[in-house]
Structure 1
């Protein structure tokens, strides 16, 4: 089970990650020119959202249907994917965060990621 504190720790461990509010939600972003949001956490903390490609989304949803599901709106059609935090473990969370971070971070800072 992933707690909000564990999610924050994992997200903020990625290079240049910062937490900023996004309406009532927490968002984790890459603090770089053209850096984007790579994870959001709603106030109820039941799930978090990451931003994958549609192919990555299909892969994780098929591999772990009890953990991952598409966001049920237009964002979900573009790859936005929810993670049930109570069903997730630390390694699965990190993998999803890294995939999402790679899309949010400018290519020139990808080398800062240590796996």
Structure 2
């Protein structure tokens, strides 16, 4: 099983990733945020809706869609206590791929 320290280490090992506060979480981003980490033992990953459906069917004990508009866009919660390091690395790689090279949002 993996914990928050493991996930943080894996995320920061991905090229160009930085960590910054994001509300009550830590956000990990390259060109855009691709994962957030909470102190409650959960992390949120940005997948496509199809990837979200796949992850949630493959490992429902680990992954669940966020129950709001963000979830309909693919944001998915992972329970770290139920996840293996392989589960989290695969999720990081998938979410990271969508954030690299994306133009920054204008505010």
Please report the TM-score for the alignment, with normalisation by the length of structure 1: 0.85
Q: Distance in 2 between matches of 1:93 and 1:5?
A: 12
For structure 2, the 5+ residue unaligned runs are 103-107
For structure 1, the 5+ residue unaligned runs are 108-115
Residue number among 26, 31, 37 corresponding to 2:33 in the alignment: 37
SS at match of 1:86: helix
Q: What is the RMSD computed on CA atoms of the aligned residues?
A: 1.0
1:24 equivalent in alignment to 2:20: no
Q: Distance in 2 between matches of 1:24 and 1:16?
A: 23
Runs of 4+ residues deviating >6 angstroms: none
Please report the TM-score for the alignment, with normalisation by the length of structure 2: 0.91
Q: How many residues end up aligned between the 2 structures?
A: 102
Q: Distance in 2 between matches of 1:42 and 1:5?
A: 11
